[in-house]
């Protein structure tokens, strides 16, 4: 399993038997806001990752007024938080995995689920549709 360039630069390695978690966009927002429902993430993972798809989704949510970040914070700053690393999967393989996800029309859900599947990581999410479709072995419910 190959890690993205930033993770490699930081010397991140996946330890045998460790749990790696990909955060969906809401998980990133809730961690940023210090929400109680994300406390289990620190104890259940050896490493947290964010997807590049979440950066675009964060920016769009800010632009349309659906979310507000802490005063002075930008989507880019939230995305680059030190509590998680950004993983950059190969686009061709990543997008190929999205083709298997006809059960959702949400492009961000497709990208995030495909990213987690491609890497073999659990997806931390509160999205009811994703939770309904994925097994408990594939996701962590927030």
Give the domains, in start order, of the chain with CATH numbers.
18-141 (3.40.50.1010)
> Is residue 95 exposed (0-12), middle (13-18) or buried (19+ Cβ within 10 Å)?
middle
| pLDDT > 90: percent of the chain | 56
Give me the pLDDT at residue 11, please: 40
CB 110 within 8 A of CB 104: yes
Radius of gyration of the chain, Cα coordinates, nearest whole angstrom: 14
Kindly report, residue by residue over 44-103, the tens digit of the pLDDT.
Answer: 557 899 999 999 999 999 999 998 887 778 888 888 888 899 999 999 999 999 999 999
On the question of pLDDT at 137 being above 70, the answer is yes
Between vectors from CA 74 to CA 41 and to CA 121, what angle results, nearest 5°?
Answer: 30
Task: Give the count of beta carbons closer than 10 Å to the beta carbon of residue 100.
Answer: 11
């Amino acid at each position: 399993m190959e890690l993205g360039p930033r993770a490699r630069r930081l010397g991140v390695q996946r330890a045998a038997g460790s749990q790696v978690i990909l955060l969906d966009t809401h998980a990133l927002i809730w961690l940023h806001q210090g929400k109680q429902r994300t406390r289990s993430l620190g104890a259940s993972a050896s490493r947290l990752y964010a997807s590049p798809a979440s950066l675009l989704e964060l920016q769009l949510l800010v632009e349309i007024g659906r979310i507000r970040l802490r005063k002075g914070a930008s989507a880019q700053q939230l995305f680059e938080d030190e509590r998680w690393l950004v993983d950059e999967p190969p686009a061709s393989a990543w997008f190929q995995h999205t083709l298997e996800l006809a059960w959702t029309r949400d492009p961000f859900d497709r990208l995030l689920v495909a990213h987690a599947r491609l890497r073999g990581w659990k997806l931390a999410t509160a999205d009811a549709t994703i939770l309904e479709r994925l097994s408990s072995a594939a996701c962590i419910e927030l």
